[in-house]
Amino acid sequence: MISVDELFKGGVEHYLLEAQGSRVFDYQRMNEMNLAREVFGIRIAPWSADSSGKSATPMPENVDISWYGGSRIPSADPGSEAVVQALSGLMFVNGAETGRPRRFGLDVASAASGLLAGHGALAAEIGRSRGIGIETVRTSVLQAATLLAGQYIGEATSEESWAPSIRGNGSPPPFASADGRPFEIDTFDPERWAGFWRSLGVDDALLGRSWTIFQYRYVKGHCVLPAGLHIAASSARWSQVLAAADEFRVSLSPLRTYAEMSAEPGWSAGHPVLTPLAGHGRGPSAPEHASRAGDSKPLPLSGIRVVEATTRVQGPLAGLLLRMLGAEVTWIEPPQGDIGGMGAYYHRGKARVPVNVARPEGRDQLRDMIAESDVFLHNWRPGKAEEWGLSAEELAGIRPGLVFAEASGWAPLADRDHVLGTEFMVQAYTGLADTNTPVLERPRTTRVLLCDIFGALVACEGVLAGLLQRERRDHGWKSETSLLCGSMALQSQVTSDHGSSRRTDGRPEWHLLDEPLETADGYLAITVADGAARRSLGEALGMPLHDESDKALAERLREAPAAHWEKALAEAGVPAAEVRCDVDALVHDERLAPLFEPFEGGGQAPVAPWVFE
């Protein structure tokens, strides 16, 4: 466990300024922590003191981040990021386009668990301010991993597929121009998509099928396109690609490197930016605290009312996290609904009210709902709230004490608004393809929606920080977050370890044991941190290991099933796990079953990733 007293106590305004522009964070003073605790410290620091810089009401004394909490895996079993990625299905989903499981080059589950621990600490302090006694917050890296993989598990276990599963005969994005510039494109309009590719010489016969594959990549976790698209891209110079994107108004972003991102706009921790709203007081008092069935005490956000006007992933997941923390969340359902089964997954447990906000009477209905709520969360395109008369300042006038949360694509980079603020545009621009791909491999984007999910985690943090500041200072707040903030929050680990032997120019340096290895019937993930662990691995395998023995090690593992090696290595104290390549079977694994619960549509979804005691 980590005591919050160990965390640096800086002033709120100081940290708000630093969150907007700083490139340097004091990782060295936390170098004894693992990455999850390090991320927790970075996330909680801006909100752990009052405006004078003095320590405010102390947050929960203990925040416990474990490897396997919430599951039936013994806590004494050795754990690691790679093992958790293997157990949760993340490796399988990340490698779905290549035909074999792939580890992420970033420690995505550990980073996510650090953000979740921050949520728990903030929510517990909000609860304590409102009379809900909470002393300890628990979460785990495995719970964070199931949240990251949850959408894909949800579809795999649902009664019906959420979208067609079609693959072309080529490869997934990114594309590369004739002069070697890798890039991603995005559009929601099939005519613009078709126009772009026709201008590069693609035959119409390929375009319909290609569009179907392309538009469902957000749902399926894979996007293997026909080879003809890649051939066309590789036959065009970068100037031609830019001209085609401009002519057909298709968003385009080159894959930027770690060095390019470091130069402009530079690295930050991706903290929410909080701005005080005029007016004091809370407006209507919150209802009595409510608890979920079977809970011995109310959850920390019990009685907090959230109105959520969001679609797709980032906003809906942020609202879902607030609901899991106990808030009463009402989703403003647009006339077109949300994305099929994904909508059922991300809006589970929320009240639903159909409202057409594009019409004046719909906006009046929304204002009436916000006037009775504590939080308004939206992910409309930039400027839409002001155009509709629903800006933070206008809503603060009808609801004193409102926390207005805006989750966008590019904030605080105003000069990026001409490019769609979507997952793959942000992955490309922020260098994530670079930092997530090992040295010697071609940088690639991942179809796992890392920017959306981490953007949701940061958006939730912004709401919680606003609610906590409202408790302390008795007025409303505006929180601004984005997918870009989410990408920065995830990649803060690169700044932490880029000077070590683990990375070169921001990219991970991997050896044989850093990736899943073939066994007689599947794949095995192993973590060997030092010489002693390598000796233990050799003893468990019944063979001596030295620097030149990688080939022999790989051959030895292929002699027996993955489950055999997982058991043998666990007994030797070496973190190892069979890579789960059947995600719909995860929920039937006795060890992992407590991590899931049913939702509408017959599927299984991750349970709340916190325990409050």
Number of Cα atoms under 13 Å in the Cβ half of residue 466: 33
- Predicted local distance difference test score (pLDDT) of residue 292: 47
Pairing of β 305-309 and β 328-333: parallel
* CA distance linking residue 250 with residue 193, whole number of Å: 7
Picking from 416-420, 493-497, 580-584, which range would have the lowest pLDDT averaged per residue? 493-497
- Lookup result for tokens 């319909």: 208
- Predicted local distance difference test score (pLDDT) of residue 23: 29
- Predicted local distance difference test score (pLDDT) of residue 484: 97
- Predicted local distance difference test score (pLDDT) of residue 17: 32
Statement: residue 54 has pLDDT above 80: no
> pLDDT tens for residues 92-122?
999 999 999 999 999 999 999 999 999 999 9
Burial of 462 (0-12, 13-18, 19+ CB in 10 A): buried
Q: What average pLDDT does the chain have?
A: 89
- Predicted local distance difference test score (pLDDT) of residue 253: 97
Q: Model confidence at 12, in pLDDT bands (50, 70, 90)? A: very low
Average pLDDT over residues 351-366: 96
**Among the listed residues 511, 487, 498, the one whose alpha carbon sits nearest the alpha carbon of residue 438:** 511
- Lookup result for tokens 């409050």: 612
> pLDDT tens for residues 248-297?
999 999 999 999 999 999 989 999 999 999 865 665 445 444 444 445 67
As beta bridge partners, residue 330 has: 307, 351
Percentage of the chain exceeding pLDDT 90? 78
Q: Are 114 and 145 in contact (CB under 8 A)?
A: no
Pairing of β 604-606 and β 305-309: unpaired
- Predicted local distance difference test score (pLDDT) of residue 557: 96
> pLDDT tens for residues 438-486?
999 999 999 999 999 999 999 999 999 999 999 999 899 999 999 999 9
Does this model's pTM top 0.85?
Answer: yes
* CA distance linking residue 112 with residue 110, whole number of Å: 5
CA 460 centroid distance within chain: 11
Sorted by sequence, the CB contacts under 8 Å of residue 393 that are 6+ apart come out as 277, 278
Residue 25's CB is within 10 A of a number of other CB atoms, namely 19
Structure tokens at 385: 């709230």
* CA distance linking residue 307 with residue 3, whole number of Å: 34
